[in-house]
Structures are given as C-alpha cells and as structure tokens.
Amino acid sequence: MKKYVVLAGNIGAGKSTLVRKLADRLGFRPYYEPVTENPYLKDFYSDMRRWAFHSQTFFLTHRVRTHHLLAEDPFSVVQDRSMYEDAEVFARNLYEQQSMTKRDWETYQELYHTLITMLPPPDLIVYLRASVTTLKKRIALRGRNFEASISDTYLQGLNRLYDRWTNDFTLAPILIVPTDRLDFVEQNKDFEAIVKTIEQRLLDKQGILFPVGM
C-alpha cells in the first residue's frame, strides 16, 4: 500500500539528507524541496511588509501543486518540507514579526485552510527537532553563503513555531525525532532506530515515539 511521508524541520535540521537515506532504505520515491524562482523575492527583501503576502502566496501555490502531485503518485513517497510548514511556521513568523499585515495574514490563512481541506493529508509527518546550536553547526558544515547571516533569534523563533505547530496539528500523526541526540548521518544504529519507528508508525500509527527531551 502506498505511503506518503513528510519530513519537517527548521533550516539545517537534516531533512534533505534523511529524505535521501529513507528513500534508499525503504524504496520510497524522494521529493526534495523545489528550487523555484519567486518573482516577488527581490521586492520582498526591499519591502517585506508590502510584499510578504505576495511572496508567501506564490510559495503556497507551488507547495499545493507539489502536494497534489505527491498524492497522485502511485509510489510511496517521502517529501522534504510541506505546505503546512510554509503557512504555520514561515508565514506565521512574518506576521508575528509584523512583516505581514493582519489583513493579509487573515486572507492568507483563509486561503491556506481552504486548500488543505481539498488535499489528502500525509500518512506521517516526521519532525526533526534540533536546538539552535545544532542547527548552526549543520548550517556551517554545508557552507551555503546565503545562510551564513541567519541569526540565532530567527532560528529560535522558527523553532518555537515548529513546536507550536507540531503540538497542535491534527491532520496527520507526527513522530518527533530529537536530532540533538540522534545522529542519523554518522551513526547507523540511530538511523535504523528512526527507520524502525517510522515503519511501526506507518503500520499502526503508534510505534515508539521518541521523548522530546531525549
């Protein structure tokens, strides 16, 4: 039976790496975060409050299109980031930082909630939870120049919203993986423990849930 798994997590959490490893191990088809040229980005960075709604709506449109394609794919799939995170973490962060007006935020939310009722949810969301210290180390290791200026405050704010979202989300079961303690890149036993738990959750939606404080 086809399965649809989403990997969620902050910048530098290791989503793309785990997507690749899970796809190889489980025989799933990997879907990586699409690199799409957003025509609003230049305007957004020059005037965030004016262009935040336009930019986030563009991203949401592409996320919804990808979600639809994954739902229609006859193979089991594992996805790098979802439309839920775009709305509940990144767009909400813009609103809370007053980079998106209340009117635009309410319109965006209405659009988002309408769209998610039209699409089937994933079978499982795997949230790669990581501290800011861990995120900064991983961001430095991958050496992307445009990520070098990301502040601790920004990452902490996203972590807070990720924790809120995963605590309140009810459309799909969520498995929390404490990646400060579990090294699925260097430690094969940690990776196998994650694989085993994912398989259990996909079979009966229970399995062993790693404690958040682990």
- Which residues define the annotated binding site? 9-17, 33, 45, 56, 81, 86, 138-142, 147, 182-184
Residue 194: CB atoms within 10 Å? 22
Q: Indicate the annotated binding residues for ATP.
A: 9-17, 138-142, 182-184
Contact residues for 81 (Cβ-Cβ < 8 A; gap 6+): 6, 7, 8, 9, 15, 33
- Of residues 209, 185, 211, the one with CA closest to residue 18: 185
Catalytic annotation on 80? yes
User: One of 43, 47, 73, 80 is an active-site residue; which one?
Assistant: 80
Q: Indicate the annotated binding residues for substrate.
A: 33, 45, 56, 81, 86, 147
Task: Give the residue numbers marked as catalytic.
Answer: 80
